[in-house]
Chain A
């Protein structure tokens, strides 16, 4: 079955700097790669996703890149702000099947 690894497990950046979180997946059939943000005491919330027919997607300060050949995808956050501090999860899925999540990255944005 699918296995998703995520690095780093914790990340601290200065406010205004960029943050990058990387995930790798094992099942070459996976074709959907969402990213979730979880704030303290809340459920994960979808922030951006990418499908396998696209190499990059942007939404304001966040972007996701996908390398299907290497089976890895990354979340990029530019101009980080204190409200970006949270736990971020990546996931991989084959269309119509269950999502498999990475272990999460705790991002701290230092003022």
Chain B
């Protein structure tokens, strides 16, 4: 069971470039989310989705786009990368119901020069 899979693991971009961070889960979870991790700031929610076709903004959505066409995939798009988007990005999915638990992928380390 692969769980939550993120690609790529590392990426270097130049300011203004665009890219898509991929996230896939094989646990049939309806809820998926993207976080960014910066030193001393913990994990901050960028965007989340409660099911295919449904997305919403988190705490720090500016500069990022998401879509959810299938239950399995939840890509994160950077439209015009900025140095402030240098961070480690984590995708997560959540089990449904009263016993909800959040599972994370292994992360993408992004540097914007």
Contact = CB atoms under 8 A, between A and B. Distances in A.
A98 B48 contact: yes
Given A46-B103, A98-B48, A89 B43 contact: yes
B98 interface: yes
Interface stretch (A65-73, A78-86, A101-109): A101-109
Interface residues of B, number: 21
A41 B106 CA distance: 8
Place the interface of chain A in its size category.
20 to 34
Contacts of A45: 104
B33 A43 contact: no
A15 to B, nearest CB: 26
Contacts, number: 48
A41 B42 CA distance: 15
Interface of A: 4, 6, 9, 32, 34, 36, 41-46, 49, 89, 91, 93, 95-96, 98-99, 101-104
25 contacts: A6-B42, A32-B100, A42-B106, A42-B107, A43-B105, A43-B107, A44-B90, A44-B104, A46-B101, A46-B102, A46-B103, A49-B101, A89-B42, A89-B43, A91-B102, A95-B100, A96-B100, A98-B58, A101-B35, A101-B44, A102-B42, A103-B40, A103-B41, A104-B40, A104-B42
